Structure 1
Amino acid sequence: MSLRRYAANNATPRTPRPRSSIAIHQSPAASPSISHTVPFDWQAARSLQPAPYQTPKKARTSEANGTPRVLKPRAIRKKSLYERITSLPSRIMFEIAMFPHNVPVPSPKTSALALGVFLHFLHLCVRVSQSRSASSSDSDWNDMLRESEGASWFDWTGPMTLLLFCASVANTVYAFTRIKLYRFHRRHEPVPSPNSRFVSAELDLEPPSLVSRLSSGAWWSFRAFWRFLLGMKPPAPKMPSRATPRVQQLEMWTPGELEMSLFAIYSPAHSLLWMATTSSNWIMMFLVMGIVWAQLNIMIKYYTILIKDKEILAAEVMHEYNEGFVYPRVNPVRKDVAIMTHESEMVNVWE
């Protein structure tokens, strides 16, 4: 026992391990902060420096010899012939229900180009047929009161010309009447736009039908015309009553790419130019049609680019405002700082 005690007393002294203090005596600054926000690592996100963790490898390595472990291909169960035959009716019904959205169609510009070229070719055939019938009747110009023998009483070129003109007008009306409704619930003063008006908040947010809009527009134009002739003011728009809650509504024009491209290729102006085309002025008419198509296409293209540039400019202004003013004040980097005192620093037991 004495030798063991002597060896223990002569051993190398060791620093005792610090004891964990009681939680009530720890400073709050040593604990994890609740409101402390760590700034986002933009340098790592922009690939300017490596991330704090390693990128996982594609092939796993074995712990024994370090060789990559090859993963076996997964077994995929295929449907049997009986399952494919029994599911065929449901598949057919699904495709029928999805028609025509499941039909692969070309881009809107390609479709508009093909449709416009077809309409121009059809109108060219109509004009060629009309010119041939007119040239054959030139010999009988003096005897126009006499009925021509063997001639058909029905001429298909007239209804076809009217149909082509109505098609161009219908495409124009459809392109310029596509709208979306937006309501401003927090704006009480009127918006400086002719398409904004106050409506009842109880109405559904659905655009009215094309027939109702055309009929109401025709009736308003008729009333405005007679009021102008009589020296009266134009009719005021209808306002909802004060009893019902009102909200400001904006009717924004949202044209489709197919309709606008077809309008540039085959517009009502093109159909009217085809009606005035003859064998003596067809070169000039073709030149005028090309100029009309070019100026419409250029105007649509440049105005679309202008709208996109304005959107980019507005987005960049808001981005710079947020980065320079909003984000530094909304999400500042904070850290808790606490000061702790003891009773012996404030209370004197000898007093």
Structure 2
Amino acid sequence: MTSPSLSASTPFDWDAARARKPPPYSTPTAAGKRIRALRNDLATQGTPTKQRVVRKKGLIAKITSIPSAIAFQIEIFPNNIPLPTPQKLAWILGGFMHFMHFLVRVSQISRIPDSELGWEDMYQDDEGSGWFDWTVPVTILLVFGSLGNAFYLFTRTRVYQLALATDPVSSPNAKFVHRERTPEPQPKRSTFMLIIRHLWHAFAISVRFLLNLSPPKNQETRGRRGGEVVQTLEVWTPGDLEMMLFSVYSPVHAWLWMALTSANWILMCLIMALVGVQTRALTRSFEALVKDKAILASEVMHEYDQKFVYPRINPIRKDAAVMTHQAEMINTWD
């Protein structure tokens, strides 16, 4: 620094004051001129570009690094597989399940003779054929797959602890739980003190046993039992894959496929399409509502910080000070 700081305490220079020497520091105007001149010189001259030297691996280094690269790819499997987005993967899985259920229904319908093919005989098999074939386990897998996806979708939650909330939160997913406190680290004791402590504990247990009393409680057990009651909130966190798959192939679609016949296939397909569109529209509207609420909450906090918090915590101040030196002072008595 060319000038002393505001908090520095330097002795008064009487020699500089009497001789009226120039100050050892420069004025802000002169310093600003020098900085601007230096910037102009650098701008006119320009900085020479440096050529970077990139060291490339040789053939032997590339060959020796192949086993480690293979081991690394095996270690991160299956995260290194380029999978499609959750929405596309849900469409692929849902379309495959619809196609499998379509094959099941075609196989079941084709086994019925033309003479017995009626709207009331759709679920009857011809004589001499068993009721259990490959369509039964596939149908069970498809139905339970849709039910499992719906169950996982609606039970995927995350628990948050509201440590400072004393009043009950108006939510059916909020409840009070007992949270154990973290035990404080005990100070280290010497071996002699540990032996004395264990002997005393054994003596106390023996005396209480002879007097038909309950054994003494350990201090660690007391510390673990001492806790606090906090309020937890179980928040539903659905995934994109499960949400989209629920719209494409839900349990309703599986049961509609089971009710499909050669007489009502047009109506059933139309109902399945309407159910999928309705479910997807509802989920998209709900996701947009959640995002809009998050945007509004963040904007409210942003306006509160900009208009109320920051102007009071960080007010704009002007540091007005006068800096001088003994050489600039004029002594009228000399």
TM-score bin (small chain):
0.5 to 0.7
Normalising by the residue count of structure 1, what TM-score does the alignment of the two structures yield? 0.62
Deviation for aligned residue 1:82: 2.1
Task: With a CA cutoff of 8 Å and minimum separation of 6, indicate the structure with the bigger relative contact order.
Answer: 2
Code of the residue aligned with 1:107 in structure 2: it is: T
Equivalences for residues 131-150 of structure 1 within 5 A: 131-135=109-113, 138=116, 148=128
Code of the residue aligned with 1:122 in structure 2: it is: M
Matched, 1:244 2:222: no
Normalising by the residue count of structure 2, what TM-score does the alignment of the two structures yield? 0.65
What do you get for the CA RMSD once the two structures are aligned? 3.4
Deviation for aligned residue 1:103: 0.7
Matched, 1:300 2:278: no
Normalized per residue, the structure richer in helix is: 2
Match of 1:175 among 150, 153, 158: 153
Matched, 1:116 2:94: yes
Code of the residue aligned with 1:91 in structure 2: it is: A
Number of aligned positions between the proteins: 245
Q: Which residue is 2:195 aligned to?
A: none
Equivalences for residues 246-285 of structure 1 within 5 A: 246-285=229-268
CA distance in 2 between partners of 1:157 and 1:328 (Å): 71
CA distance in 2 between partners of 1:158 and 1:195 (Å): 39
| Identity fraction in percent | 47
For the 8 Å contact 2:105–2:260, the answer to whether it is kept is yes
Match of 1:95 among 52, 70, 73: 73
Change (3 A) 1:18 1:190: same
CA distance in 1 between partners of 2:264 and 2:277 (Å): 20
For the 8 Å contact 1:112–1:259, the answer to whether it is kept is yes
CA distance in 1 between partners of 2:297 and 2:253 (Å): 38
For the 8 Å contact 1:61–1:69, the answer to whether it is kept is no
Q: Which residue is 2:6 aligned to?
A: none
CA distance in 1 between partners of 2:70 and 2:142 (Å): 37
CA offsets 1:144-186 (integer angstroms, 9 cap, x no match)? 99962xx467411111111100000011111111111111111
Code of the residue aligned with 1:118 in structure 2: it is: F
Match of 2:309 among 302, 317, 326: 326
Match of 2:64 among 86, 104, 120: 86
CA distance in 2 between partners of 1:278 and 1:135 (Å): 14
CA offsets 1:39-76 (integer angstroms, 9 cap, x no match)? xxxxxxxxxxxxx99xx9xxx9884xx7x74543x232
Q: Which residue is 2:298 aligned to?
A: 315
Change (3 A) 1:188 1:61: closer
Structure 1 portions without partners, runs of 5+: 1-15, 22-51, 205-241, 340-351
Q: Aligned with 2:308: secondary structure?
A: helix
Deviation for aligned residue 1:134: 2.3
Code of the residue aligned with 2:240 in structure 1: it is: E
Q: Which residue is 1:162 aligned to?
A: 140
Q: Which residue is 2:10 aligned to?
A: none
Q: Which residue is 1:291 aligned to?
A: 274
CA distance in 2 between partners of 1:187 and 1:152 (Å): 63
CA distance in 2 between partners of 1:101 and 1:136 (Å): 52
